[in-house]
Structure 1
Amino acid sequence: MIYDKITENIIGAAIEVHKDLGPGLLESTYQECLFYELKTMGYSVQKEISQPIVYKDITLDHGYRIDLLVEHKIVIELKTVEKFTDVHTAQILTYMKLGNYPIGLLLNFNTKLLKNGIKRFINTME
């Protein structure tokens, strides 16, 4: 898949951030550091992207924000939680569906090893 190398690089950058900082910090700290790493790697990265919701004939421009969007295609949702729940999965899948994004990464920085806090999603509705 065309996004494999990019997601591999994103995961590598996230692991580097986690190795350097460790668990236990605020989500916003990891977001800023991962944003920095990805920008340094030359990727197009946006943070806190507003995700509008269209309901019938109205558009709601508030309520949802994507943590990071890489290359206008890959949604990154960051967490610092004990463990992922179904709500976390639903959240990233909803962002991917609403924006028609093909790939999503759910990253939990509140783990001893980041590799145990990574979930990758593919939007089959694209």
Structure 2
Amino acid sequence: MITQNYINHLTYDVIGAAIEVHKILGKGLFESVYHKCMIEELKLRKINFKTEFKIPIDYKGVNLDLDFRCDLFIENILVVELKAVNEILPIHDAQLLTYMKLLSAPKGLLLNFNSNNIFREGQKTLVNEHFKNLPK
């Protein structure tokens, strides 16, 4: 059974993987470099995920091709969007919330590798109604 606690622990584990990648690489690289390293770190930690898959969008029975791609979808419940930007903007929140809604994911995580400290300033979590309706 999926609970808020389970998802929170999973989020903590993913942030730990991001901290490890950031500790080794530092900031200033392209997002694609962090993405490949996150894939390897998640594999090492035996965290189940999908990457770079096309998000299905069904509207009234019609599959729409909008070419939305999720960076990482952890255990089919946690959407992770990776960034390497000067600051997280509202458009990044909107992107994450869109993916969460389309994937029926209860929680999302923005990770900005262009920060001095992933834990303090380089991550942001978002939850939606799916998360709020889960047991603790």
Could you say which residue in structure 2 is the equivalent of 1:40?
44
TM-score (norm 1): 0.93
Inter-partner Cα distance in structure 1 for 2:130 and 2:23: 35
**Aligned residue pairs, count:** 126
Inter-partner Cα distance in structure 2 for 1:10 and 1:73: 12
Instruction: Report how far residue 125 of structure 1 moved.
Output: 4.2
User: Percent same amino acid at aligned positions?
Assistant: 45
Letter in 2 for 1:69: F
Letter in 1 for 2:54: S
Could you say which residue in structure 2 is the equivalent of 1:12?
16
**Within the alignment, does 1:70 sit opposite 2:74 as a pair?**
yes
Instruction: Report how far residue 54 of structure 1 moved.
Output: 2.0
Q: Contact conserved, 2:105 with 2:130, CA < 8 A, in 1?
A: no
- Choose the corresponding residue for 2:63, options 34, 54, 59: 59
Could you say which residue in structure 2 is the equivalent of 1:92?
96
Find the residue that maps to 1:24 and give its secondary structure: coil
**Within the alignment, does 1:117 sit opposite 2:129 as a pair?**
no
TM-score (norm 2): 0.87
Of 59-68 and 86-95, deviating more is: 59-68
Inter-partner Cα distance in structure 1 for 2:52 and 2:61: 25
Deviation string 1:77-118 (CA, Å, 9 cap, x unpaired) is 000111011100000000000010111100110111112010
Instruction: Report how far residue 49 of structure 1 moved.
Output: 1.6
Q: Contact conserved, 2:27 with 2:113, CA < 8 A, in 1?
A: yes
Q: Contact conserved, 1:82 with 1:110, CA < 8 A, in 2?
A: yes
Inter-partner Cα distance in structure 2 for 1:38 and 1:49: 17
Q: Which structure is higher in RCO with an 8 Å CA cutoff and minimum separation 6?
A: 2
Unaligned runs of 5+ in 1: none
- Across the aligned residues of Structure 1 and Structure 2, the Cα RMSD in angstroms comes to 1.3
Inter-partner Cα distance in structure 2 for 1:53 and 1:45: 20
